[in-house]
């Protein structure tokens, strides 16, 4: 089987202790707009992508700078690449698994279903597929109560999903997140 490649670069996430000034800077530099923002997270876009830049407020998430010491305090958290379909994302997962490369996290963010990997140096990347076919539908979800309740996501099993897809369950059945109960292991990532 030929290799499956991402369709496009999607976004970058930064950890910061200058949350407000970073928000202001990215909004000015890219003439961007806020898609979602709370005290800990900000999602900024400048085009038809649901977010191109995300900011994590480490001053609130890790005030004393001790809890996340192993991943660093500020800087790039991860870069993200988008696949054309859930089937492509999960077929790629299976290919990578056959090479001994496995994700450390499979999570349905609501706006994307995502698999997170670390390269040999520990750099983190997200492979994702969009949950909604249009930016308008994505924006409605991001502004709704389910996303406000849990903008991080709900874990899923990529093997289970791939098996179900191959048995004929439509992709749409997986892509709309209806369970918003927060995950329990986010701080361990």
CATH 3.10.180.10 positions along the chain are 10-80
SS3 category, 137: helix
Residue found under tokens 């089987």: 1
pLDDT value at position 70?
53
> What pLDDT tens digit does each residue of the chain (189 aa) get?
689 999 999 999 999 999 999 999 999 999 999 999 999 999 999 998 889 999 999 888 777 666 665 556 788 989 999 999 999 999 999 999 999 999 999 999 999 999 999 998 788 999 999 999 998 999 999 999 999 989 999 999 999 999 999 999 999 999 998 888 765 544 444
Inter-axis angle of helices 86-98 and 158-166, nearest 10: 120
| 106, 156 Cβ separation under 8 angstroms | yes
* CATH number among 3.40.50.10800, 2.30.29.30, 3.10.180.10, 3.30.70.141, domain 10-80: 3.10.180.10
CA Rg, the chain, in Å? Answer: 16
pLDDT value at position 183?
59
Nearest CA to 156 out of 169, 175, 137, 170 is that of 175
Q: What is the dihedral of CA 41, 44, 50, 54, to 10 degrees?
A: -40
Global pTM?
Answer: 0.82
Q: Give the H or E element holding residue 89.
A: helix 86-98
Q: What are phi and psi of 163, to 5 degrees?
A: -60, -45
């Amino acid at each position: 089987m030929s290799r499956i490649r991402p369709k496009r670069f999607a976004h970058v996430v930064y950890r910061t202790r200058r949350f407000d000034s970073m928000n202001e800077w990215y909004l000015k530099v890219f003439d961007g707009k806020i898609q979602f923002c709370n005290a800990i997270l900000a999602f900024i876009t400048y085009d038809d992508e649901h977010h191109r830049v995300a900011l994590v407020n480490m001053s609130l998430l890790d005030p004393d700078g001790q809890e996340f010491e192993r991943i660093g305090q500020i800087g790039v958290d991860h870069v993200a690449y988008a696949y054309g379909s859930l089937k492509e994302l999960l077929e790629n997962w299976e290919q990578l698994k056959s090479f001994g490369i496995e994700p450390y996290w499979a999570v349905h963010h609501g706006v994307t279903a995502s698999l997170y990997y670390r390269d040999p140096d520990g750099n983190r990347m997200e492979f994702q597929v969009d949950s909604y076919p249009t930016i308008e539908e994505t924006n409605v979800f991001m502004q709704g109560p389910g996303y406000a309740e849990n903008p991080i996501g709900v874990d899923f099993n990529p093997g289970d999903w791939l098996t179900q897809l191959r048995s004929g369950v439509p992709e749409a059945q997986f892509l709309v997140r209806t369970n918003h109960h927060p995950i329990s292991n986010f701080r361990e990532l």
